[in-house]
Amino acid sequence: AQKITQTQPGMFVQEKEAVTLDCTYDTSDPSYGLFWYKQPSSGEMIFLIYQGSYDQQNATEGRYSLNFQKARKSANLVISASQLGDSAMYFCAMREGLEYGNKLVFGAGTILRVKS
Amino acid sequence: GAVVSQHPSRVICKSGTSVKIECRSLDFQATTMFWYRQFPKQSLMLMATSNEGSKATYEQGVEKDKFLINHASLTLSTLTVTSAHPEDSSFYICSASPRWASGASTQETQYFGPGTRLLVL
């Protein structure tokens, strides 16, 4: 079974609008972390935001926020006020408990295109 | 802080030759380093996990003799693609996990290198 599912292969958003990128996950471990990374065409992996399984509040980092719905096992990324520079591939990833080490499991990714 | 470098950034080689890619943590000690492979418009696929001073742990389906990983020190891991063929052409990314990233409840996990584009002719 897929541990991380990103169902949107590609998304378009108008500049200055908000966009939500979907991510659902599957784990039986009570302790886990969820991450979002941005990968521009250069290939570098840019860490955006993190949500721990025990965190009570949704994580926010500037224009990025994570809509964490634990019961639904979803961790959607919301980008507010989209900019042209937000066009990139976005990956959702999960790290499970200590016995898995620091391994990250990545979703298939969503390509975001911001239109002017 | 927490910078990871990779060298080379791009490499073109002939089929049958071996290519070595270096991954260095510049300002921290990395107890664990990870090697990923990524094909165009696809996700990162973990190839192997390497811990300093011990043998690498390879993911299922990854040939150990094809992709040699050495983690000789706490700041350096190398991936050698032996007898490279055109199908090995890909984007290879390493990441390093610092000593203090030991719990699932912390956002500190892996710091990624900038990647190496390998083209085998």
Give the pLDDT mean for A93-104: 79
Residue B5 — very low, low, confident or very high, per pLDDT cuts 50/70/90?
Answer: very high
DSSP B72-103: EETTEEEEEE-S--GGG-EEEEEEEEETT---
- Residue A69 clears pLDDT 60, i.e. is over it: yes
- Residue B13 clears pLDDT 50, i.e. is over it: yes
- Kindly report the nearest CA distance between residue A15 and chain B, in angstroms: 23
Does residue A38 belong to the interface with chain B, where contact is any CB pair within 8 Å?
A: no
- Residue A40 clears pLDDT 90, i.e. is over it: yes
Q: A–B: how many Cβ contacts below 8 A?
A: 69
Q: Using a CB-CB distance cutoff of 8 angstroms, which residues of chain A are in contact with residue B115?
A: 43-44
Cross-chain residue pair A108–B95, CB shorter than 8 Å: no
- Residue B104 clears pLDDT 50, i.e. is over it: no
DSSP A56: S
Does residue A35 belong to the interface with chain B, where contact is any CB pair within 8 Å?
A: yes
CB atoms near residue B120 (< 10 Å): 20
User: What phi, psi does A14 have (nearest 5°)?
Assistant: -80, 140
Residue of B nearest to A37 (CA): B112
- Residue B102 clears pLDDT 60, i.e. is over it: no
Cross-chain residue pair B43–A111, CB shorter than 8 Å: no
Q: What's residue B106's pLDDT?
A: 59
Query: Burial of A36 by CB count in 10 Å (0-12 exposed, 13-18 middle, 19+ buried)?
Result: buried
Q: What's residue A96's pLDDT?
A: 81
- Kindly report the nearest CA distance between residue A28 and chain B, in angstroms: 14
